[in-house]
């Protein structure tokens, strides 16, 4: 089974149209994961778009541009640009739950959320995925990762290689040299071994880096390497 996250720097409309042009009609084992709750400003910044009517319009836009009658997974993006916030999300998540009841969405997820917000959303409808910033150096969501694993909820880590501030660590480099892989592969392999429900969103613009990222799934880190890497985010 394969999945594609349709979020992108250029905005969902452009990405969705490219995905449709390249892949439609979609293979049966391909599942598209979309995200709503923000829109692009004229300066390419992300602006909140969390009113229920805005969220419903974004869902219909995704359906139209992807050429679908139902979306596999829709993530509600909350929080702030710097990370998670603590605002209630019942109204917003409830709007998406209505669309799920109408058959326009199969499953619901969350992005940029806290433990309490996950609990709040679960009281409204099942949550199948959480998408938060998480990597070797950003471990503030350790408890959320563990909870998702315990409840069989996929945890999709974005910026798994550090994002706009790429991971740089002497410890990471040393472990990579020891196991004969690149630091990037080791960082991704650590995440995959961190939780059985971990999924990764490593951005790349080259086929070479894409192949390197995919190869990380075949890398099993020994216990002493995991122990060393765990000190990076301590």
Q: Which residues are catalytic?
A: 10
Q: In whole angstroms, what is the distance from residue 203 CA to residue 191 CA?
A: 15
* 3-state helix vs strand vs coil in the chain, percent to 5: 40, 20, 35
Cα-based angle 2, 195, 225 (whole degrees, multiple of 5): 115
Question: In what order do the strands lie in the sheet containing 198-201?
Answer: 2-5, 30-36, 71-77, 105-111, 129-133, 154-158, 198-201
How is residue 219 written in tokens? 């890398």
Q: In whole angstroms, what is the distance from residue 215 CA to residue 188 CA?
A: 10
- DSSP 8-state secondary structure symbol assigned to residue 24: P
Q: How far is CA 182 from its chain centroid? A: 23
Q: In whole angstroms, what is the distance from residue 70 CA to residue 59 CA?
A: 10
């Amino acid at each position: 089974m394969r999945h594609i996250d349709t979020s992108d720097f250029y905005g969902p409309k452009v990405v969705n149209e490219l995905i449709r042009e390249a892949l439609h009609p979609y293979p049966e084992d391909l599942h598209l994961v979309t995200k709503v709750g923000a829109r692009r400003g004229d300066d390419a910044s992300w602006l909140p778009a969390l009113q229920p009517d805005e969220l419903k319009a974004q869902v219909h836009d995704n359906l139209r541009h992807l050429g679908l009658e139902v979306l596999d997974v829709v993530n509600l993006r909350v929080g702030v640009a710097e990370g998670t916030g603590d605002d209630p999300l019942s109204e917003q998540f409830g709007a998406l739950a209505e669309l799920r009841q109408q058959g326009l969405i199969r499953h619901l997820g969350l992005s940029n959320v806290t433990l309490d917000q996950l609990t709040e959303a679960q009281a409204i409808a099942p949550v199948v995925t959480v998408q938060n910033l998480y990597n070797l150096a950003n471990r503030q969501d350790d408890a959320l990762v563990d909870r998702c694993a315990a409840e069989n909820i996929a945890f999709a880590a974005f910026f798994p290689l550090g994002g706009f501030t790429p991971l740089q660590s002497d410890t990471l480099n040393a472990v990579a040299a020891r196991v004969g892989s690149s630091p990037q592969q080791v960082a991704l392999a650590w995440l995959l071994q961190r939780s059985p429900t971990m999924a990764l969103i490593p951005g790349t613009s080259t086929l070479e880096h894409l192949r390197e990222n995919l190869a990380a799934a075949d890398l099993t880190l020994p216990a002493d390497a995991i122990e060393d890497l765990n000190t990076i985010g301590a």
